[in-house]
Every structure is written in structure tokens, then in C-alpha cells.
């Protein structure tokens, strides 16, 4: 059923938001080339590839200019007794390379630019790693995490074999052994600071195409991936695929999540919902709590919700491809004020087309403007 699908077709290797992809030559690349668009099918899929290529570099460091001589110190005031706030408590990282930022920089005179810049380009968003590139994946992940400067980056490993059941977002590692090795290299780039990992969108919610044995093997690999990521960086927060409120029943999804290691503190911090979709935050929060309740596991497990395009909710007809009348949702934050809801995130970047208002995966300013003013 179309209404149960995740949203957004992809082309070739798939990404969303910002992507860091290997184009060879030993260089860190961001965003793959867009190839010919496939026939769009109403299948669950994640954000699509962007059109341009550019080097994936960390955000520029602060100026290292020589400071002025210090004046004679004045008497120090008594220290405050207030406990300082954690610097990353509500500070998600905005990576400095994306299609929307490219457009903003190149179109300063466009009358749509101020709204797109302030409401979309200035928001922190996820960084996708959607190709199988074991030779450079560590350095490309590190390029993102090392530039965060105390803020919390959101990264998306997306290379599971048989991705999207051979649909528009097909691709991934050649087999699970190769995927396990790729995840180890991915984990090596996470660093030691706080980082949120959105582990393989659609890998659990969309697995009907696999046989029972293949599903069990995939779930075992995802459980290993979670353990690998958290062992590499104990501050990493790993979330597993729960689909969305219009897809699988909570008990069914919880059973799959449990088989994939999502109920274990050694591999999981909880679940994510609504990636690239439009369901309202209230619907997703209720669904996420229902899934968590059925999942069991530690009481500290939580959920993150993709709120990038859900301001008006999902279309009644189930349309998933750049549906009209949508608008931006809740801004990304780590302070939701909601029980068991850890964050609202922009995992799919608004303005990157699903393939109807623009070439799949490309930033489409007219679509972005409509979302921003909706």
C-alpha cells in the first residue's frame, strides 16, 4: 500500500541530505552523480542522491590569528555555584557541505534565497554514507565527526546488501561479510565525541523480499553492526529502523527490531521513525512509544523522529513523491520535552526532490520554497 511506504526514490547509489561518497582517486567526495532516473515505484526508500560533486571537508576551524596582549587582570569574581550546562545538550551539528548550501551560495540575489537559507540551509541535517567504499569510508566519516566541535553530528550508514529489496534505492555491499567489514571501518571514523547513528533506514521495516533465513542473517548482521559502532565509540547513540506509524504494526515491528539487536544496550539506544516521510510528530511519538513498549529492553531506550517535512502531516491519498501542500516540521533538537523521544531530526533534507518536482535527489528550489513558506 502506498501509504505504508517510506518515501523518496533513489538513483544509483543513494543518499539524502548531505552525502559523503567515494568517487575514487583516494579523495573524499560529497554527493554522487545523478544517473538516469529509474521508474518510480511506491516502495519504501531513503533520501536520494544529490546532483553535484564536491570535496567532503570538515567545517573550517576558527581563526588562528595571534591574540592581542592581555590587559592587566582585574580581581576575579567569586565563582558561580550554578552547574554549567552540557555544551552539546541541544547542539546538533550542521555539516558545511550540502546541495542547499551550494544553492544559497550561488544564488544570493534570488528572492527565495532568504527564506530557504534561514528555514532550511541553516538547520542541522544528517550526513548519509550510501556507497560501498571500504577504502575511504573511515576517513570520510572522520571528516564529519572531527569537525563537529562539541556539537552532535548525525550520520547514516546505508550499505546493507539487497537494500530496498531491489527497488529504486537498490545497492549496498556485495554480501553480509563485506558489510560487516565495512561497518567496522565506518565505526573507526566515529571518533570519541557524541554522535547519533541512524542505522540502515528501511533495513528492518522493508525486508519482506528476503526469505526467513536471509532475514535472520540480516538481523544478525545489524545486531553486530550496533555492537561494533558502540564499542568503537561509547558515546555513539545508535538507533534502529522502526519504519513509521502508517507502515507495520508496532508489535510486528518490535519483533523484528528485537531480532536485530535493538533491545540490547550493547548495540542500541532505541529506534528511529518517519525517515523521508510526512506523518505528524504526535502520530510518530505515539507509535514509537508503542514499539518501545512491545520491544522491551532497558528503560533508557528512546526514539528519534524525522520531522523534516511533516508539518502538515501525510497526504490523505498516500502520495509519497514530492506531494503538494507539505511544509517543514519541528526544527531539529535534542530537547523534545516528550517522554522517550530523544530527538527530532532532519534526516531527509527538505528541498531534495523525490523525483516528481525535480530530478530525483537534486535540490529543487521551488519545492524547497514551497515547504519553507507552507
169/153 Cα distance (integer angstroms): 24
Torsion-angle region of 318 (φ positive above 0: left; ψ -120 to 50: alpha; else: beta)? left
Residue 269: active-site member: no
Residue with cell 528572492: 111
Catalytic annotation, pick one of 162, 202, 241, 370: 202
- Would residue 164 show up in a list of annotated catalytic residues for this protein? yes
**CA atoms of 150 and 70, how far apart (whole Å):** 27
User: Is the distance from CB of 200 to CB of 224 less than 8 angstroms?
Assistant: no
* Distance from C-alpha of 202 to C-alpha of 214, rounded to nearest angstrom: 15
154-157/127-129 β-pairing: parallel
Across-strand partners of 341? 303
Is 202 among the catalytic positions? Answer: yes
Out of 22, 28, 97, 164, pick the active-site residue: 164
Element (H, E) at 212: helix 212-232
How far lies 175's CA from each of 157, 182, 354, in Å?
15, 11, 28
Beta carbons of 360 and 9 less than 8 angstroms apart: yes
The one catalytic residue in 102, 241, 342, 354 is: 354
Instruction: Indicate which residues carry an active-site annotation.
Output: 164, 202, 354
Amino acid at each position: 500500500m502506498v501509504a505504508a511506504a517510506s518515501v523518496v526514490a533513489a538513483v544509483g547509489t543513494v543518499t539524502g541530505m548531505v552525502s559523503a561518497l567515494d568517487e575514487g582517486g583516494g579523495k573524499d567526495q560529497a554527493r554522487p552523480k545523478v544517473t538516469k532516473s529509474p521508474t518510480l515505484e511506491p516502495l519504501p526508500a531513503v533520501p536520494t542522491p544529490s546532483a553535484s560533486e564536491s570535496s567532503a571537508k570538515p567545517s573550517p576551524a576558527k581563526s588562528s590569528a595571534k591574540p592581542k596582549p592581555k590587559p592587566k587582570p582585574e580581581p576575579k569574581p567569586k565563582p558561580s555555584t550554578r552547574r554549567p550546562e552540557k555544551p552539546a545538550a541541544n547542539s546538533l551539528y550542521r555539516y558545511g557541505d550540502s546541495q542547499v548550501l551550494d544553492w544559497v551560495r550561488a544564488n544570493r540575489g534570488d528572492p527565495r534565497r532568504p527564506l530557504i537559507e534561514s528555514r532550511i540551509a541553516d538547520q542541522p541535517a544528517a550526513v548519509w554514507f550510501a556507497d560501498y567504499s571500504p577504502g575511504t569510508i573511515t576517513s570520510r566519516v572522520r571528516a564529519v565527526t572531527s569537525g563537529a566541535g562539541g556539537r552532535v553530528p548525525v550520520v547514516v550508514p546505508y550499505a546493507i546488501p539487497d537494500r530496498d529489496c531491489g527497488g529504486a534505492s537498490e545497492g549496498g555491499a556485495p554480501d553480509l561479510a563485506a558489510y560487516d567489514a565495512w561497518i567496522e571501518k565506518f565505526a573507526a571514523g566515529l571518533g570519541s565525541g557524541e554522535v547519533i547513528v541512524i542505522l540502515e533506514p528501511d533495513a528492518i521495516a522493508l525486508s519482506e523480499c528476503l526469505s526467513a533465513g536471509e532475514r535472520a542473517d540480516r538481523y544478525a548482521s545489524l545486531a553486530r553492526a550496533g555492537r561494533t559502532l558502540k564499542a568503537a565509540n561509547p558515546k555513539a547513540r545508535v538507533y534502529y529502523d522502526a519504519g513509521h506509524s502508517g507502515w507495520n504494526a508496532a508489535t510486528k515491528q518490535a519483533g523484528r527490531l528485537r531480532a536485530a539487536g535493538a533491545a540490547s544496550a550493547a548495540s542500541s539506544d532505541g529506534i528511529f521513525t518517519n525517515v523521508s516521510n510526512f506523518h505528524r510528530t504526535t502520530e510518530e511519538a505515539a507509535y514509537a512509544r508503542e514499539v518501545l513498549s512491545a520491544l522491551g529492553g532497558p528503560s533508557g531506550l528512546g526514539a528519534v523522529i524525522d520531522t523534516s517535512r511533516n508539518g502538515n502531516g501525510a497526504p490523505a491519498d498516500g502520495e509519497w513523491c514530492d506531494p503538494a501542500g507539505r511544509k517543514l516540521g519541528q526544527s531539529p533538537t535534542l530537547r523534545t520535552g516528550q517522554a522517550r523521544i530523544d530527538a527530532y531530526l532532519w534526516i531527509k533534507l527538505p528541498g531534495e526532490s523525490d523525483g516528481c518536482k525535480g530530478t530525483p535527489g537534486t535540490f529543487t528550489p521551488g519545492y524547497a520554497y514551497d515547504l519553507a513558506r507552507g
